[in-house]
Structure formats: C-alpha cells, structure tokens
Amino acid sequence: MKMETINPTSLFDSRQYGFSQIVVTTPAKMVFISGQVAWDENQQLIGENDLATQTQQSLNNLKIALEAAGAKLEDVVMLRIYKVNYQKEDAAIISKVLKANFGTEQPPASTWLSVDGLANKGFMIEIEAQAVL
C-alpha cells in the first residue's frame, strides 16, 4: 500500500497532536476495525479511571485486531476516537499515547468525538480504525 500524508501549511499542524489532516492511499485491501476499548481478553477493564492506560490498552487491542487481518499500525489511515465527557486536558493525554504508537512523521487522519457514555460505564475511551494494505 502506498500512503501519503498531507498537512497543508494553511491548516494547523495536527501532527503535534498525533494525527494528520489528510491521508491519501492507493488501496488494495481495506480493513475496518470495530471500536476497541480497555478490556483484556477476559473482559477485565485495564486502567480503571486512568485515561492514558485505557488509551494504550485500546491501541494494544487495535494492534491485535490489525494483526489478525494481516495489518499493522503503520497501515492505519483513519482513527475515530470516542472520549466520554471530553475535557480540554484530555487532549494532551490522548495525544501523548497516539504519538508514542504512531509517531509524528505520518500519523493517520483522525476524528475525536465527545460522547455521554460508551457500552460499559467504566470505559473512558473507544478507538476504531481503518487500515489499507
């Protein structure tokens, strides 16, 4: 898969937050990953009341799902991040984890949404993804 990220200077530099403004691909195979949360394989919540830990666990689960489809994080072109009762200070926490996992050179495009709640009251964040192979 060929992936190109575009971050026009006439838009803010989103790479500092761990995502690109635009991703262009030449797709061969598209992979759609359902929202991943901070449950382990036994449905035990990892990182109760800890946004950084829940974000990392959600990405760990995303990695597992990608690998099952023959993909990896570098193949992700789009993230949708659902954060319960998003607050401004959440951005720094989420961004730090995203940058640690995706880097800052060619991170995926991303949309962040504040929601009232998720499927389990302990979930603070849910991350879904699209990848192209």
Q: Structural domain tally of the chain?
A: 1
Confidence of residue 48 (pLDDT cuts 50, 70, 90): very high
Q: What is the CATH number of the domain that holds 124?
A: 3.30.1330.40
| Residues of the domain holding 124 | 2-132
The per-residue pLDDT for range 56-90, each reduced to its tens digit, is 999 999 999 999 999 999 999 999 999 999 999 99
Instruction: Measure Cα distances from 127 to 9, 30, 64, 114 in Å.
Output: 27, 17, 13, 12
**What percentage of the chain has pLDDT greater than the value 70?**
99
